[in-house]
Structure 1
């Protein structure tokens, strides 16, 4: 962490009990830190407490090591899982894509326009269709075609790319491959998928066609963390659009692409701004 960094995000998850907020804020005040935003939530069902604090560093809190030495007593007292994040460091996100480029293009545009504060060190695809736009943006493109015979080998190479580029997060931008259980476990908590339906409805393949067959009046998109259970991971963000009887399944697919792009980019942003907290099979989200 840079010695010059002065703004941090502190995230905390712990059992809910009396005195957490007072202890954390008193500690920061005693160290000369200036809190600019504090968000908290105590879940009465899971009995877990979640907290996100943005602060300007004080006289002795300018590195993670210095902070850890001083904060350890409070962390231990409340059995906290806590992390200190450099506010100015851009998270590194490796994107995976297949043949549909709408979510990928939306992310690339937001990054190029400085509307999404991340770095994209690499993009991986099982097809060649997106190579031109990716390389136009000056990003390395890794073509890793997948079939039944080479799936394990290609997933190993995929992990090598993720590791080599020191990725903080992997985003499945309509990557049309089911990840193995082993890969899902390896990427636990740091892999986000965009599913083209309003989960938990219409899981699996061709969800818009499933929705059209059922005559639904709302279609949507869902961004969620990837787990070994297909389309069952904790949900981060969702949106919907109204449809009617006159629309074909292909009409719904077209409308859905806009929803997917927005939902996916917002989920990436929320994760990278450290606003998402896992809460068993659900999430706690602190909005901007």
Structure 2
């Protein structure tokens, strides 16, 4: 299947009979071939319905804009849908923010270079100069924007200038708290990796917190960033089993492996339009 011919339709609406049939018939009547369909309802009666659908576009009988407006009028309005259509050929523009830790960054750079992350990686922004050589060897622009308590407002203004036109911002262990004003520019379009299995051990030094509690599982959490620190909708999580034999350094090493893969999966799912945000939760069709 050629990805440049794939379109994706995401739907959220009140659940009732006939939704799948209406969507399928509409696409069939316009020459689309449905190649994947996932759905979920929160309740058998009166729940909320979610659907992700992929269809092929070579034989559409109308342009994109006409297809969208016709769907809005003939299907979406009737079922009170919150919906969007995206096209795989339109690669999302992605920027990465990072500080000094490079493990999550390198995982994203490597996967992108191998064609595993379908996006245009536009730049890496860091509040430190340390990782410039690692980034630029992949041919990605690197911007050093220092941040201090006194210069935070100016630094964020410069970052927003650099990020103009960006579709997704990925925090690959960016060790700065973004202001509410910054976050408001990218609702559900900033993904963070937290080195903890949220909601446990929020804030700083989670591995030390976990060690002191004698946990038997450590984890990592990828989530969308909101104004509330570490409380945004969770996209993906994973855990590793540990014991009293593991010291803090070993927990950190194991945790970094989790962080790399959890963040990469979350970013890929966002790029492939597999995530629907509903309140402070996500439905992930992975």
TM-score range, shorter chain: over 0.9
- Mapping of 1:242-257 within 5 angstroms? 242-257=241-256
Could you tell me how far apart the structure 2 residues matched to 1:232 and 1:47 are? 25
For 2:278, the equivalent position in structure 1 comes to 279
Structure 1 residue 12: Cα displacement: 1.2
Could you tell me how far apart the structure 2 residues matched to 1:231 and 1:149 are? 24
> SS of 1:94's equivalent?
strand
Could you tell me how far apart the structure 2 residues matched to 1:158 and 1:114 are? 27
Contact preservation (8 Å) 1:16, 1:42: yes
Contact preservation (8 Å) 1:60, 1:66: no
Contact preservation (8 Å) 1:121, 1:140: yes
Structure 1 residue 90: Cα displacement: 2.3
For 2:113, the equivalent position in structure 1 comes to 112
Could you tell me how far apart the structure 2 residues matched to 1:18 and 1:7 are? 27
For 1:71, the equivalent position in structure 2 comes to 71
Could you tell me how far apart the structure 1 residues matched to 2:276 and 2:103 are? 27
Unaligned runs of 5+ residues in structure 1 are: none
TM-score normalised by structure 1 residue count? 0.94
Could you tell me how far apart the structure 2 residues matched to 1:177 and 1:44 are? 40
For 1:126, the equivalent position in structure 2 comes to 127
For 1:143, the equivalent position in structure 2 comes to 144
- Pairwise CA RMSD of aligned residues? 1.6
Could you tell me how far apart the structure 1 residues matched to 2:267 and 2:5 are? 24
Unaligned runs of 5+ residues in structure 2 are: none
> SS of 2:166's equivalent?
coil
Structure 1 residue 162: Cα displacement: 1.0
For 1:238, the equivalent position in structure 2 comes to 237
- Mapping of 1:1-288 within 5 angstroms? 6-44=5-43, 47-57=47-57, 58-61=59-62, 63-73=63-73, 74-163=75-164, 166-287=165-286
Structure 1 residue 241: Cα displacement: 0.6
Contact preservation (8 Å) 2:117, 2:271: no
Contact preservation (8 Å) 1:64, 1:84: no
Number of paired residues?
281
Post-superposition CA distance 1:117-146 (Å, at most 9, x none):
222101100001111111111111111111
Structure 1 residue 7: Cα displacement: 2.2
